[in-house]
Structure 1
Amino acid sequence: MFKKSIVIKQFLLYMATISFCVILMGGMLSVIYTNHYMSETKQELIEQGEKIAAAINKAYNTGNINNLAYEMQVLEDYMGAGVLLVNKEGVIVLASPGMDSSLLGHVLAYDELVENIQEGNVVSLETGSSSIFGTPMLIVGYPLSEGQLSGIFMCRSMPEIKVSLNEMYRAGVFCLLLAFLLTALVSLVTSRKMTEPLMDMNRAAKEIAGGNFEKRVEITSKDEMGQLAESFNHMAESLENIEKSRRAFIANVSHDLRSPLTSIQGFLTAMLDGTIPPEKQERYLRIVLEESQRLSRLAEGIVDMSRAQDSKIVLEETDFDLNEIIRENCAVLEPQMEEKGMRIEVSFAAKETMVHADQDKISRVLHNLMNNAVKFSKEGGVIEVETTFSGKNKILVSVKDHGSGISEEDQKYIFDRFYKVDSTRNKDKTGAGLGLSIVREFIQAHGETVAVKSKLGEGSTFLFTLKLAK
């Protein structure tokens, strides 16, 4: 679990990036600083060589060369560099106190240095450990123009220079290490903060999978992570509503099954034991038939929803007149409308509207929508059914009532299976919350869309589209 943690993965990615940057920066800075330090050292030696050269020229002009050794010792103490004076033949004729006295009389075996000095150029060279000095040296030569001397050479030990560089390197490494630790701490905190919402969602998902559909995650930002948390909460809310609808559906179906079965059983028993006389049996047999039809409709709705969920809806598409299907459904619902003193107003886009669809399923869609409109409208109300052309190859069908309407919150779930609006539960005693779900599944199976427009107290309008016949 530890190795798979997204916090660890993100933290290691940060560390790898930071480490690469620190190593790259450290290497570049070391090269840049080394070159800069060596250049500064050479420049300082050149400047001091210029001063010694001026002092030597002055000594020769005044004839006072007694202070020359003192000047060389001061330079050696100040710069930490030895000083050599070389004549025209390249022979070392004078050395500062810190230099090995055995060097006197030796030829400075660097022909390029001597030749460049004699030409009046300032030169520099880094020697190896096999030179006459016995140790690597940084040599800077400055030309002289007086007497038999050709130049002055300032010599500084490379190991001493490296000691100074190493001190700076240690300081730089300490600063980089401190910066690395600080960035590591910040990266760890950032990784935890960025991944905490994901971990919360993971824990919440496990609780939801365990049946706790009331679990939600806290939204702490408005970025993509916050949007993901919001979507997660919306999903959890949808699952909670589906679970509530499922439980309500089971309760409703149990009630709907129990009531007709009890009636059927009671009437049949009464007829068999002679409680109901033969002359009255026809009336009660009709009641039994109505109850059995009610059971049949309920079973048909459940089967339709099961097929829809398994994507097994088979369409038998033909060309038919949509107007005629609407008229037939108006006739079927006429007894219910008369009972409530209602009327229906129909407006067709054309005298004949030929569409290409499954006639039985579209008739079922219209029946469900119009039946709901009648069921949830007030007595004496009006139902409006209208068809209008939508684009070149579409017809838009709308079914409007003037009932109590549907809230915006309920509109989000009105097409979900088993869902029943709270305000209509007392009005819809026989429904199981499948009618609108079947409408959506049938319309979507045709590749079309269905929608609802509603305001509380102003009624509802259900709309769907169909393809026109060619």
Structure 2
Amino acid sequence: MKRISIQLGFYFLIVTLLIESVLFVLLYYSLVNNRVNEEMAALLKRGNSHRDVLEKYFDKQTISHVALMESEAETTVVITNANKEVLAKSNEINTTIKKHIEKMQTRTDHDGAIIENHWKTSNYICTVSPIIVAGKTEGYVYMFLGTESIEDMVNGLTRQFIIAGVITFLLTAITIFLLSRLLTKPLLHMKHATEKMSKGDLSVSLTTSRNDEIGELTSSIQTLANDLHYMKTERSEFLASVAHELRTPLTYVRGYADIALKENTSPEQRLRYLSIIKDESD
């Protein structure tokens, strides 16, 4: 027989896990997207910062200095002229970077743009910031960030969510188990009490301090047990009294009958005793 605490806890656990799973998935993807967007925004901001410097001093020394600043960073900067000819680069560029530069549209807003954001399928995310001097586009600042760093960040978030999910599952299971036991404990006591009552044992004692429906049910069962015990006691006393009242006349009747059956009893006495028996029976 399945215990109600197990069934109740199982149903609560399933519903709670479904809700928590949906919330965890939504939170996970929201955090991942926010972190990726932050990385892209930071990359674009870094490119715009270099662009602002180059717009003030667009010469070989400044261009080389900007490239040197990025040489030890995770990012790669490529500075080109208006015809996309490379003027300086912080690291060696591969064919993938060259393709991103070539496919970039020549008309770009001064605030820059993200030209590759598919971090799951591409080796880089990249941005471009146009260098505009005296209203004329003199070149572009390309910023590249390998998607390995983003994947590492996402994997770190995934591990944290898995650990948090396991801990949440354990805490949820323990909490639901304790709550289900707490909720069903009075019901189990009432079950045992009604089983005793069904076997004729009315000496049950149910106490509760609850003011809810379970408390009312406990009080009702205790009242029923008390009433049945009172009725059983009253019935026993009534039957004992009736038996006593019946036993006294019958004792007399039996005594007179024994005397009447004796051989030495005269006919007159026998008739008198039979008359007494008749009167007692009426």
Residue by residue, what CA displacement relative to the aligned partner does 1:265-317 show, whole Å, maximum 9, x if unpaired? 33344445447636745862552243xxxxxxxxxxxxxxxxxxxxxxxxxxx
Task: Give the gaps of 5 or more residues in structure 2.
Answer: none
State the partner residue of 1:226.
215
Give identity over the alignment, percent.
18
Matched residue type, 1:56: L
Q: Which runs of 4+ in 1 moved over 6 A?
A: none
Is the 8 Å Cα contact of residues 52 and 72 (structure 1) preserved in structure 2?
Answer: no
State the partner residue of 2:243.
254
Is the 8 Å Cα contact of residues 46 and 140 (structure 1) preserved in structure 2?
Answer: yes
Matched residue type, 1:94: A
**Under a length normalisation based on structure 1, what TM-score does the superposition of the two structures give?**
0.52
1:43 is displaced (CA, Å) by 1.7
State the partner residue of 1:287.
279
Q: Which of 202, 220, 244 in structure 1 is aligned with 2:191?
A: 202
Specify which structure has the higher proportion of helix. 2
1:84 is displaced (CA, Å) by 1.9
Question: For the residues of structure 1 that align with 2:219 and 2:96, how far apart are their CA atoms?
Answer: 87
1:140 aligns with 2:135: no
Residue by residue, what CA displacement relative to the aligned partner does 1:100-152 show, whole Å, maximum 9, x if unpaired? 345599464663x32342x546221225788xxxx522112212114874321
1:87 is displaced (CA, Å) by 3.2
Residue by residue, what CA displacement relative to the aligned partner does 1:242-267 show, whole Å, maximum 9, x if unpaired? 33234334423432332333233333
Residue by residue, what CA displacement relative to the aligned partner does 1:185-222 show, whole Å, maximum 9, x if unpaired? 22111111111111122222333334432121231422
Is the 8 Å Cα contact of residues 49 and 153 (structure 1) preserved in structure 2?
Answer: yes
1:213 aligns with 2:202: yes
State the partner residue of 1:44.
42
1:190 aligns with 2:197: no
Is the 8 Å Cα contact of residues 32 and 157 (structure 2) preserved in structure 1?
Answer: no
Question: For the residues of structure 2 that align with 1:104 and 1:203, how far apart are their CA atoms?
Answer: 76
1:278–1:207 distance in 2 versus 1, CA, 3 Å: closer
Question: For the residues of structure 2 that align with 1:128 and 1:168, how far apart are their CA atoms?
Answer: 16
Q: Which of 25, 29, 35 in structure 2 is aligned with 1:31?
A: 29
Mapping of residues 296-445 of structure 1, within 5 Å:
none
Q: Which of 64, 83, 87 in structure 2 is aligned with 1:69?
A: 64
1:223–1:108 distance in 2 versus 1, CA, 3 Å: closer
State the partner residue of 2:77.
83
1:243 aligns with 2:235: no
State the partner residue of 1:18.
16
1:172 is displaced (CA, Å) by 3.2
Matched residue type, 2:276: Y
The DSSP-based 3-state class of the residue aligned with 1:154 is strand
Is the 8 Å Cα contact of residues 119 and 125 (structure 2) preserved in structure 1?
Answer: no
1:8 is displaced (CA, Å) by 0.9
Is the 8 Å Cα contact of residues 122 and 142 (structure 1) preserved in structure 2?
Answer: yes
Residue by residue, what CA displacement relative to the aligned partner does 1:38-72 show, whole Å, maximum 9, x if unpaired? 22112211221111001212222xx4x32433333
> Root-mean-square deviation (CA), in Å?
3.0
Is the 8 Å Cα contact of residues 142 and 153 (structure 1) preserved in structure 2?
Answer: yes
Mapping of residues 92-107 of structure 1, within 5 Å:
92-97=86-91, 100-102=92-94, 106=98
Query: Which protein, 1 or 2, shows the higher relative CO under an 8 Å CA cutoff with sep ≥ 6?
Result: 2
Question: For the residues of structure 1 that align with 2:34 and 2:233, how far apart are their CA atoms?
Answer: 76
Residue by residue, what CA displacement relative to the aligned partner does 1:2-36 show, whole Å, maximum 9, x if unpaired? xx011111111221122112211111011111221
Q: How many equivalent pairs are there?
A: 276
